Amino acid sequence: MGKTVLIVDDSRFMRAVVKNEVEKNGCTVVAEADCSDAAVARYKELKPDIVTMDITMTVDGHTIGRSSNGIDAIKQIIEFDPDAKILVVSAMGQKCYVIEAIEAGAKDFVIKPFDEVRFAEALAHFK
């Protein structure tokens, strides 16, 4: 079994896409989460080797407030485990979001829709 991965994205379709890429690259998906609260809880429960994290997530079609987005989940996971390896996978590619995610503790950032080669390169840095 390769590295274990927690996939966090509010889109079931996107979680399936990321899962396919993760498994193609020799890793094992141990859990999925569709919101930041579930992501933090699953991380604490399972301590996966890698987390893929979306930044903007919705609940029932409504954007979650700043207190409950991917950046905040990154901060909470890093507070729990400063060595956590978080790969942001988000359509929010503006420079300010990239900087904010890295400052929060993410190790890399891939913009959706992502290039398979770029995703594999980012994942390889964690192996």
What tokens appear for 73 in the block? 């989940």
- How would you class 73 by CB atoms within 10 Å of its CB: exposed for 0-12, middle for 13-18, buried for 19 or more? buried
Read off the CATH number of the domain in which 21 is found.
Answer: 3.40.50.2300
For 15-74, what is each residue's pLDDT tens digit? Answer: 999 999 999 999 999 999 999 899 999 999 999 999 999 988 866 544 544 435 899 999
Does any domain span residue 127?
A: no
Q: HSE (CB half, 13 Å, CA atoms) of 117? A: 0
Identify the domain containing residue 14 by its residue range.
4-121
* Residue at 126 is within a domain: no
**pLDDT tens readout for residues 78-106:** 999 999 999 999 887 677 888 899 999 99
Question: How many folded domains does the chain comprise?
Answer: 1
Bridge partners (DSSP) listed for residue 111: 90
pTM of the model: 0.90
Other C-beta atoms closer than 10 Å to the C-beta of 47 total: 13
Cα 29 to Cα 101: distance, rounded to the nearest angstrom: 22
